[in-house]
Amino acid sequence: MGVELAPGLVVPDDELVYDYIRSPGPGGQNVNKVASAVQLRYNAGASVLLDEWTRSRLATLAGRRLTKDGWIVLTAHRLRTQEGNRRDAEGRLAELILTARERPKPRRATRPTRGSKERRLEGKKQRTETKDNRRRPGID
């Protein structure tokens, strides 16, 4: 079935690889016997779901979770069960991809208003006066 990002938008199963490892998190006596942590690998470099812009933005957002081969590796071990950690990793992957698909609003350069410049200078004058009043008299 894959990971559903949004209605009608699904990451196919063949682009995902699940590895189950021992968890450093909670689990009591079971933690040394059961591989409940999930390592989810997503092949972002070869994904048919992503366009070039989204792929490059995803690489930036993934940071050190991105390997040189173009795989995104997410490790989930917050929960005690393998299924819970699997859902957690899938949710984090979906959130990462949806964030990468959003186009950031372009920043428009603005100039400070006249009033803000005057307020800044007035604040500087007050601060200077305060510090001058702390000095001993006759130190000029």
CA angle 26, 95, 43 (to 5 degrees): 90
**88 closest CA partner among 7, 33, 15, 23:** 23
pLDDT given at position 19: 92
Position 134 scores a pLDDT of 92
pLDDT of residue 26: 64
- Provide block-wise average pLDDT over 10 residues at a time, the chain (140 residues): 75 85 74 85 84 89 89 90 91 90 91 96 97 82
- What's residue 1's pLDDT? 65
Question: What pLDDT is recorded for position 27?
Answer: 65
Residue 132: its pLDDT value, please?
Answer: 92
What fold is seen in the domain 3-101? Answer: Double Stranded RNA Binding Domain (3.30.160)
Residues in Cβ contact with 16 at an 8 Å cutoff, skipping those fewer than 6 apart: 2, 3, 40, 41, 42, 43
Distances (CA, A) of 77 to 1, 32, 80: 23, 13, 7
* φ, ψ dihedrals at 81, nearest 5°: -105, 150
Q: Where do the structural domains in the chain lie, given as residue ranges?
A: 3-101
109 Cα distance to chain centroid? 26
Q: Where are the alpha helices (DSSP H) in the chain?
A: 52-62, 82-101, 114-134
Predicted TM-score (pTM) of this structure: 0.71
